[in-house]
Structure 1
Amino acid sequence: MEPSSTKHWKNTCQIVLFRVNLRNQEGEGLVYVLIEHKSYPDRMTARQLLRYVERVWTQEERNNPRSRGLIPILPVVFYHGTSEWNVALDLVELIDAPAALLPYMPRMRYLFWDLNNVDTAQLVGSVQIRLFIRLLALFQADNPVERISEIGDLLKELTEPKTVLDWVRVGLTYLSANPRIGKDEVVEMVRRLLPEAEEGEEFMSAIAEVWYRDGLEQGREQGREEGREEGREEGVRRTIGEVIQIRFGVLPEALRAQLAAYDLARLDGVLAIALSADDLDDFLSQLPRLQP
């Protein structure tokens, strides 16, 4: 099982797409993993997953127009928040319809895994999946720096140096989204993961640059509302850029300059368009409606 490049990052969740070979059957399957790290369960998770599934099917249809069926997608939610997950596990549970109509309503049930009740040290399977799940557990850990060696032990199972560095970069970027993990903690984790690698210094510099560029460190240290607002604006701009590059393959310089002039309200609108547009032309055609 290998993660594909179809991935986008949001403020409250990450979506990762895996391609897998199906046992006893020819062809591939896709597994969408919604990584939930909100402070409370989202009751619309099933509907959110449905949108992602439909988006993948639409893209697959464009890529393989002669395909006679839909590729299978298994929705899986890994949850590691602190509140009890008490929301619908099936899309049909969200639909307020009389019993006579329920058999005709759309259904989509997702697999749910509460990592608070799982001993991640006992997990088996591919090293990529174990790394992925261990990162989720570390995000909520009280002592992520002390436990970063758990990631280091798994990295030793990877054979390609570039793969190791990619996992370190992605893993630390994910962990750094935790407001309880500061820049100093991230730098220390890099040192522990890459004690002898020259790339360690490069990673530390890159992470520090991202931290200051987003204004998050300033907002955390000073606790000023304007600092947090500016930090969120920059964070949304960066997320929009990543989504556009992943979905459409290019981020035009003119668009980058345009985003720099947008306030938070319009940036949120741009992000919504970037996530739903069919292609870059469709995205650009919808931007004028956000003008004041």
Structure 2
Amino acid sequence: MKRKNTPTPHDAVFKHFLSHVDTARDFLEIHLPATLRAVCDLDTLRLESGSFIEDNLRAHYSDILYSLKTVQGDGYVYCVIEHQSSPDKMMAFRLMRYSISAMQRHLEQGHEKLPLVIPVLFYHGKTRPYPWSTNWLDCFDVPALAKEVYSVAFPLVDVTVIPNDEILTHKRIALLEMVQKHIRQRDMAELLQELIILLTYDYYTDEQLKSVLNYLLQAGDTADPEGFIRRLAEQSPKYEEVLMTIAQKLEQKGRQEGRQEGRQEGRQEGRQEGRQEATLKIAHALLNSGIDRETVMKTTGLSENELEQIRH
């Protein structure tokens, strides 16, 4: 059962005041940093519905979300009150989480760009002044390293532009990179030489090899998958047993599919012959009843030549 949180007096009075647009406008006009206030059109301030605070935190935090226009487009101002007697060391991180939640909702509403979200912390605890940093990077053990990670573009591994010769030097990840680089670009049989080189190293478990070959067979393309696996097995002694097992299963599957296809074609032909025979019998009965040939052909869909066969 969902736990119901009882609003505190702090929460109630804050929401009562900040839910009024004019009050919120004064609050932001006074407390927003000058650089941010300069890009915000506070005359477009609008109270947004919904809350991004998790249920287990609602007894401790009160969130008010306003949207407004900025020079760059739509922006969000996000106000959070902290009314505990003990300040929250991780409050800056919580503000970041709430900001990202607001961004996510913005995207879900059909927008293509992230909005600017400005989190503002309103504090009135017993300890003063507020003792913790409101920079979320200070929540990390090494803020300088966190800044290096989160203030620049994230690392990108784009295998589509890495040369094959370089991928071959990538040790235990090389097989995955090589296969995924080329899975859409060419017949997987053209990868044979590169795969043989990679399988000369004792880098991969049998399960990893099975996984990557299953991926090749499902997502890749080749005229002769069984032959491809057998050629790979012939030149990869370390993995020959695993590869031959896969090749044998492919051969067996091919035989089963061939038999099944034959049976299916036989049943289909039988059904077609049965329907044709029944149609001819109906046409024969209609002709014997004195129905003219044109009407019989329209009714049964038979051609004149087929009606001639009935007469003989």
TM-score, normalised relative to structure 1: 0.32
Greater relative contact order (Cα 8 A, min sep 6): structure 1 or 2?
A: 1
Q: Over alpha carbons, which structure has the higher Rg?
A: 2
